[in-house]
Amino acid sequence: MKHASALKVLFGLSFAICAQAQDGVLDLTTLHNYANQSRPLYITRDNTPGNNAITDAGATLGRVLFHDKRLSRDNTVSCASCHQQSHAFADTPVVSTGVDGTTSRHSMRLINARFGNEPRFFWDERVTSLENQTTQPVRNHVEMGFSGSSGDPAFADLVTKLSAIPEYRVLFAMTFGNATISEVRIQRSLAQFVRSIQSFDSKYDTGRKNANDNQNFANFTTAENAGKQLFLNPPPQGGAGCAACHVPPEFSIDPNSRNNGVIGSLSGGIDTTNTRSPSLRDLVGPGGQSNGAFMHDGSLATLADVINHYNLIPMTNTPTTNANLDPRLRPGGNLQNLRLSQTQKDNLVAFMRTLTGTSVYTEEKWSNPFNAQNELELIILPENASTITKNANGTATLRCLSAANLSYQLESSTDLEHWSTVGTMTADAAGLIERTVNIVPPAAFYRFTYTVPSP
């Protein structure tokens, strides 16, 4: 298996290689834009911590980790197995399948996870940050199986495993300045990738650009505008009170929310601990298809079921069975009964369908970079990691910063298709590869490649 990394150098001409998107090829000379994506001015909530701002390199590494099945103990499950781009980064079955059985809660959409002021994650908010969340599935015995108990390898074994994979040494070196792999670095890059997943090209956003939430949107149907008003207004004013907990325009969960009266548990009994919802954006896909069952236990199959639930909070929510029911859903001590008409219910559903975007489902920057064999074949190092110095004597010195102690070949080409080997060299302990070549016409491209020893 030949893995190429490296340096593109062009003498005489100056144009950039525009590598065509190909499975298994990661072109780091043209990183996708993750750090400076535009977002609407009205989007202000943001849970990015001061020490982990998104960078293009970090999110690129996160993308590779997110889609890599080698993060599971038996190389069968990646984050993307349960969080599929085509389903708003959720899973359609009620439970998802990991390396040893099925999950005890429904998978969550990862759209706009960044844009909320609840810093804690999971349905029950049991982790204090997205960074801490990202390695929990890896450490989970059922999901990815580096739990260190029940016969599983430990997280340290994953670090050892990844450290032996040359492309990770290249990617960690690009992102963090050296190839050391640690749990903190894995967390930071995965969290950057997840925070980068954003969706702001919905019908709602088109309308919201030119109006406040309380004004009718020009691009909405009458039903959608009526549904929006029901969503926004509190029950005493004839509304359904949704916005108190799913706060627009992010539709992120109110940090003070308690549970919403859905108290089923997939492992039996009841579970009253679920006080977080993912953003209500992209509940359905661009074609209107559901992105999965709703709620932590997947018990509500459709948006109509969701509205019926809130319309009349079930009698199972007595103060003794569910002391954690949010007081807003038990006004005056009685379980909420909104008495919505069928038209009002339909309008609410119509409004929720306007919260769906398009591009997030297909954009390459969030897609699987691996080929069908789960391999990366070619990594081209970023230009900013390489330098060319033209010397007085008709030679040029090519330098490239990469992962330490890897053995590289320098290759040259005049047509970017056929490559021939110029020589072999080993990166020093600081990761520096250096080679001096004669400048001779015709203009040539150069790149450093490395061959991964067969296992």
Pick between residue 5 and residue 252 the one whose CB is nearest to ligand HEC.
252
Q: Cβ 131 to ligand HEC, closest distance in Å? A: 10
Are the C-beta atoms of 251 and 118 separated by less than 8 Å?
no
| Whole-number Å distance between alpha carbons of 237 and 432 | 67
Are the C-beta atoms of 244 and 254 separated by less than 8 Å?
yes
Pick between residue 72 and residue 409 the one whose CB is nearest to ligand HEC.
72
Q: Cβ 277 to ligand HEC, closest distance in Å? A: 4
- Note the residues at the interface with ligand HEC (CB under 6 A): 66, 71, 77, 79, 81-83, 96, 98, 103, 105, 107-110, 113, 121-123, 130, 133-134, 137-138, 143-144, 190, 194, 240-242, 244-246, 257, 259-260, 262, 274-278, 280, 283, 294-296, 306-307, 310, 326, 328-329, 348
Q: Which amino acid is at 142?
A: V
Pick between residue 186 and residue 401 the one whose CB is nearest to ligand HEC.
186
Please name the residues in contact with 378: beta carbons below 8 A apart, sequence gap of 6 or more: 3, 4, 24, 25, 26
Are the C-beta atoms of 444 and 412 separated by less than 8 Å?
yes
| Whole-number Å distance between alpha carbons of 78 and 161 | 15
Pick between residue 103 and residue 402 the one whose CB is nearest to ligand HEC.
103
Sign for the CA dihedral angle at 113, 115, 120, 122 comes to negative
| Whole-number Å distance between alpha carbons of 378 and 27 | 8
Q: How many CA atoms lie within 13 A of 233 on its CB side?
A: 16
Pick between residue 317 and residue 449 the one whose CB is nearest to ligand HEC.
317
Pick between residue 244 and residue 378 the one whose CB is nearest to ligand HEC.
244
Pick between residue 144 and residue 173 the one whose CB is nearest to ligand HEC.
144
Q: Cβ 142 to ligand HEC, closest distance in Å? A: 7
Pick between residue 233 and residue 413 the one whose CB is nearest to ligand HEC.
233
Q: Cβ 258 to ligand HEC, closest distance in Å? A: 7
The closest of 157, 197, 202 to 363, measured between CA atoms, is: 197
Q: Cβ 151 to ligand HEC, closest distance in Å? A: 18
Other beta carbons within 10 angstroms of residue 47's beta carbon come to 18
Q: Cβ 237 to ligand HEC, closest distance in Å? A: 14
Place of tokens 């030679």: 395
Place of tokens 């000379």: 29
Q: Cβ 396 to ligand HEC, closest distance in Å? A: 43
Q: Cβ 451 to ligand HEC, closest distance in Å? A: 29
Token code pair at residue 117: 């002021």
Other beta carbons within 10 angstroms of residue 120's beta carbon come to 18
Query: In whole angstroms, how far apart are CA 144 and each of 78, 125, 191, 208, 299?
Result: 8, 20, 17, 40, 25
